[in-house]
Amino acid sequence: MTWQLKMVELGSSLVTYSVLTLLTVMLANWFYKRRQKVLLIEQIPGPKALPILGNALEVNVEPRDLFQVISGGSYIWSQITPLMRVWAGPFPLIQLFKCSVVEGLDVTSNIGKLRLSACARAMPLGILNTKFFQRVVGGLGIVGGVLRVWLGVRPMVLISLPNQVEVILSSNKHLDKSRDYTFLHPWLGTGLLTSTGSKWHSRRKMLTPAFHFKILEDFLEVFNSQSTKMVEKLAKKADGQRFDIFPYITLCTLDVICETAMGVNIKAQDNSDSDYVKAVYRIGALVQQRQARPWLQSDLLYRLIGSSKEHDACLKILHGFSYGTIRSRRIEFQKEKTNKLAKHMDDEIIGKKRRLAFLDLLLEYSEEGRGLSDEDIREEVDTFMFEGHDTTAAAINWSLYLLGCHPEIQARVHEELDMIFSSPDQPVTMAELREMKLTENCIKEALRLFSSVPFLARELQEEAVIDNYRIPEGTTVMVVTYRLHRDPDQFPDPERFDPDRFLPENVSKRHPYAYVPFSAGPRNCIGQKFALMEEKILLSSILRKYRAESCTRREDLRLLGELILRPENGNTVKLFPRV
């Protein structure tokens, strides 16, 4: 019996020893791989980092200052390198900024390290104002457009050269969005914006027909009716008084996206205080707040000290509206199918039905047994809502702002519109849209200077090589479009507003990844044609009726980079009726 007990004890000891040995080996392997990753990341130039904290203290700012911090820091380093490396917790993030690489620079040399260290000491990142944003964005130019920063033990690499951006955006391997997008999951789930792998591929293929040319043409009625209502609202302000036009345009785009996505007119322009409208605005601010504050990124801490109750209340309103619409439309869909009324509908009714193409397409797929539940449909509808109103509103506002700063270009747009339209109240057709060459180029130039989405972030699933820098798997790489679009090699005199940059002969001279307001490559924006159509119609509707003057000088602008890029104090303009 004693012998048996000793054997049991020996066996137990061996198991314990084996488990401890295995854990030790696994831990050693983790530290080894971690060390290898750190060594690779540290080859990329960037500011000095504290142990554990990294550069987190420099970016621990109010959400309204975060864009200035990230962009401003890149300004310093674009003068040093085309990439920037940052550590944010245990994960690396890399930003890309510039369009050309300084040849012959050896960033691993002692001289290179001394230069980088000296620059880091001379221009610290902890500047919480607009100049900081300018420094960070501009900082990617001296050495070639790359910058590394540590946020805690998490490295981030920022890039801004077209050839660097092409490596990431053109790849079929680097398709996963950064982990910061996970804070959108409670609202959007894993729809087209946030999904990865096979789910993303199947959803992208499934949704592409919803943005077919013919479907988009059927949305013109919505674009025209909602823009007419917006212009009527603006008539009360068109007497030369100063006012913020941003919310007027945003409410219009919200009406447009609700009606085109779900066939529901929420009348946001008539009732901006509705629970749904307020929830849409508030949820975006809460997501941005959580992204910007590391201590709120833990679900547990967010429940304890964050705004989780308000966040959940917004979700209840938003999801309730979406589910209610889906259920109602599914009932209608079934009735039409049962009664077989479709064969007897005239062309006008069919045309009106097709305005529901986005939701109808998903319901049709669901009926065909493609595995789409109401939850799946809700994810895509909410994603379309999220991506389709704020970004478009920002583009229209920036276009109007820049035209208000440049009356000579606005006069050219007025001349173009007067030649196309016989009346300022004439509905826009596809034929007129195609004729708005200058108007379209003004929008594109506005998106160059002020991209609605100022950063594009991807999480590497395997190692990438950019300008001889090996960027390891798990690193977050951030494309800084704000800096990319200001590369003087691609856009001479980059701060000048010049719509002629987008004449065909000028576009052909540029690198294909020098301009990416809608991202690029296999994961580009599926709705960019929809967005440009809407932007042209809404902007032209305003300018056919009014002349705009901007009340804020470019040098006085303070940019607010939340989920979209907007002026912190709104878009204050004066409108005057055109005679």
Question: Which residues sit in the known binding site for heme?
Answer: 525
Q: Is 576 helix (H, G, I), strand (E, B) or coil?
A: strand
d(CA 97, CA 146): 6
Tell me which H or E stretch contains 71.
helix 63-77
Q: Is 94 helix (H, G, I), strand (E, B) or coil?
A: strand
d(CA 403, CA 381): 33
Residues in the chain: 579
d(CA 310, CA 373): 27
d(CA 367, CA 359): 12
Q: Is 518 helix (H, G, I), strand (E, B) or coil?
A: coil
- Name residue 459's beta-bridge partners: 476
d(CA 96, CA 90): 20
> CB count, 10 Å around CB of 538?
27
291: left (phi over 0), alpha (psi -120 to 50) or beta: alpha
In the chain, the amino acid numbered 332 is E
CB 277 within 8 A of CB 254: yes
The CA angle 223-185-565, to the nearest 5 degrees, is 50
Do strands 83-88 and 455-459 pair parallel, antiparallel, or not at all (unpaired)? unpaired
Which ranges of 293-436 does DSSP label H, i.e. alpha helix?
299-305, 308-339, 347-353, 357-367, 374-405, 407-420, 430-435
d(CA 138, CA 74): 5
Cα dist from 176 to 24, 95, 226, 334, whole Å: 32, 16, 35, 37
Q: Which residues are annotated as a binding site?
A: 525
Q: Which residues contact 87 (CB under 8 A, 6 or more apart)?
A: 41, 49, 54, 55, 93, 148, 149, 150, 151, 152, 153, 154, 155, 156
Q: Is 75 exposed, middle or buried (0-12, 13-18, 19+ CB in 10 A)?
A: buried
Distance separating the N- and C-terminal Cα atoms of the chain: 109
Q: What is the DSSP string of 456-479?
A: EEEE-SS-EEETTEEE-TT-EEEE
Cα dist from 54 to 57, 87, 152, 276, whole Å: 8, 6, 4, 40
Q: Which residues contact 509 (CB under 8 A, 6 or more apart)?
A: none
HEC string of 370-394 equals CCCCHHHHHHHHHHHHHHHHHHHHH
